[in-house]
Amino acid sequence: MGEELELRYGMNPHQKPARVWVHQGKLPIQVLNGQPGFINLLDALNSWQLVRELRQTLNMPAAASFKHVSPAGTAVSVPLNDTLRQAYLVGTMELSPLAEAYARARGADRISSFGDWVALSDPVDAPTAQLIKREVSDGVIAPGYEPEALQILRQKKGGGYRIVQIDPDYEPPELEQREVFGVTMAQQRNTAVSTPADFQNIVTRNQALPESAIRDLIVALITLKYTQSNSVCYAYNGQVIGVGAGQQSRIHCTRLAGGKADTWFLRQHPRVLALPFRPRLSRPERDNAIDQFLLDQLTPAEEAAWLEKFTAVPQRLTPAEKQAWISQFTGIALGSDAFFPFRDSIDRARQSGVRYVAQPGGSLRDEAVIQACDEYGMVMVMTHTRLFHH
């Protein structure tokens, strides 16, 4: 047996002992700080593959915010405008390209990213470390760390923040194994990587697929490759804005991801950005308050607790105001890890501004799904590659 590493515990604290190892040679990871657990390593190894593939395909720094073996957010480095800087709570901070990618990944779904595992495609610099330092996070994996960045990160969680460095040149064996209930299964590792070459088979009347849409579809599909299936992903301007993961129904994936995308849009509404928070309210408390602000109704007890977070009573957005704001966002990309069995997912996607769709195809009702896209003027690409992940 090759090198091994003792873990803090297994999937739950009572599952001890726990360890990770390779069959031959050395582990590709090195723990620089803290002691990871079983789920930490699952998040780390899955999220690293995601950002590595984005970096290789798009040649841009990439970041992912992982929770429970699925991404809450993923992004490549696209500069932030003033609105997103405010919505992502970064203000006038200095942001390197890698920091911009992480700000976007963390900002995709701040509620779900609470206590995340961070994956970064490039060596971590000080601006990125400063961003991570301010967030509630369990750990980080990257191919390297600048000395100042490492010093910053080692201060988190009372010195116990989990910092993992991975060999960027490591390639795993082609055959991967998994043991479940004492039974070992093996399969060829999923080496399919989405690239611009996968978007040649456009099946809709609208054939216009700009470079920005190809980039966003690649972000969506590579994200889906490391998302627990069934899964659907909405992407926009180089980042994920909504992930629907682990649902048994395709339409439920689409609704869940679409709801998260709508929340992402609404967090940029002027009335949300101007909420009168009480001084010294923590970042997670602000995130939860915004989430409740965007709900249509709270119970009396919830309402009373919520109002304590403000210096004045906020004026809620009406359903009509929400829809009017969301309708301003167009050109959204949507990826699906498997085919759409019905047109209902296309109908729901339209409500959140989707214009570009990528899916494997192969359903008995492909023609009905294509027809729905044509009705809305969408562009649909059939990739012929399913991306299930379990």
Residues 129, 106 contacting (CB under 8 angstroms): no
Q: Are residues 223 and 337 in the same domain?
A: yes
CA 110, 158, 278 angle in degrees (round to 5)?
A: 45
Terminal CA-CA length for the chain: 26
Query: Which one of 14, 23, 59, 390 is the catalytic residue?
Result: 390
Residue given tokens 């799904």 in the structure block: 369
Which amino acid, 323?
Q
Q: What tokens does 280 get?
A: 């010294």
Strand pairing of 332-336 and 354-359?
Answer: parallel
Q: Report if residue 320 sits inside a domain.
A: no
Please tell me the predicted confidence (pLDDT) of residue 195: 92
Q: Report if residue 41 sits inside a domain.
A: yes
How far apart CA 319 and CA 307 sit, in angstroms, is: 20
Residues 34, 153 contacting (CB under 8 angstroms): no
Which amino acid, 167?
D
How far apart CA 98 and CA 19 sit, in angstroms, is: 31
Q: Are residues 218 and 81 in the same domain?
A: no
The DSSP H or E segment spanning 259 is helix 250-266
Q: Are residues 152 and 254 in the same domain?
A: no
Q: Are residues 129 and 60 in the same domain?
A: yes
Strand pairing of 332-336 and 239-245?
Answer: unpaired
Q: Are residues 205 and 347 in the same domain?
A: yes
Nearest to 271 by CA among 330, 329, 327, 312: 312
Provide the phi-psi class of 68: left if phi over 0, else alpha when psi is between -120 and 50, else beta.
left
Q: Are residues 129 and 146 in the same domain?
A: yes
Q: Report if residue 176 sits inside a domain.
A: no
Distance of CA 163 to the CA centre of its chain: 20
Residues 76, 238 contacting (CB under 8 angstroms): yes
Q: Report if residue 388 sits inside a domain.
A: no
Please tell me the predicted confidence (pLDDT) of residue 146: 98
Nearest to 134 by CA among 309, 287, 31: 287
Catalytic annotation present for 67: yes
Nearest to 123 by CA among 94, 139, 109, 143: 143
Please tell me the predicted confidence (pLDDT) of residue 10: 92
Residues 6+ apart with CB under 8 A from 76: 54, 58, 60, 61, 62, 101, 215, 219, 238, 239
Q: Report if residue 180 sits inside a domain.
A: no
Q: Are residues 104 and 74 in the same domain?
A: yes
- What Å distances lie between residue 159 and 162, 257, 324, CA to CA? 9, 35, 46
Query: Which one of 33, 40, 46, 230 is the catalytic residue?
Result: 230
How far apart CA 293 and CA 267 sit, in angstroms, is: 10
Which amino acid, 331?
G
Q: Are residues 331 and 307 in the same domain?
A: no
Catalytic annotation present for 12: no
Q: Are residues 225 and 78 in the same domain?
A: no
Query: Which one of 68, 133, 157, 389 is the catalytic residue?
Result: 68
Burial bucket for residue 202 (CB in 10 Å: 0-12, 13-18, 19+): middle
Q: Are residues 307 and 329 in the same domain?
A: no
Residues 377, 206 contacting (CB under 8 angstroms): yes
φ and ψ at residue 68, rounded to 5 degrees: 50, 50
Task: Specify the CATH number for the domain of residue 369.
Answer: 3.40.140.20
Which amino acid, 109?
D
How far apart CA 144 and CA 101 sit, in angstroms, is: 16
Q: Report if residue 390 sits inside a domain.
A: no
Residues 63, 118 contacting (CB under 8 angstroms): yes
How far apart CA 105 and CA 118 sit, in angstroms, is: 9
State pLDDT tens for residues 55-109: 999 999 999 999 999 999 999 999 999 999 999 999 999 999 999 999 999 999 9
Query: Which one of 33, 40, 46, 67 is the catalytic residue?
Result: 67
**Total residues belonging to the chain:** 390
Catalytic annotation present for 157: no
Q: Are residues 80 and 111 in the same domain?
A: yes
pTM of the model: 0.96
Domain assignment of residue 248, given as a range? 187-266+325-382
> Which residues in the chain come in under a pLDDT of 50?
none
Burial bucket for residue 311 (CB in 10 Å: 0-12, 13-18, 19+): exposed
Residue given tokens 């009905």 in the structure block: 368
Domain count, the chain: 3
Q: Are residues 90 and 112 in the same domain?
A: yes
How far apart CA 174 and CA 168 sit, in angstroms, is: 17
Q: Report if residue 178 sits inside a domain.
A: no
How far apart CA 141 and CA 56 sit, in angstroms, is: 17
Q: Report if residue 97 sits inside a domain.
A: yes
Catalytic annotation present for 309: no
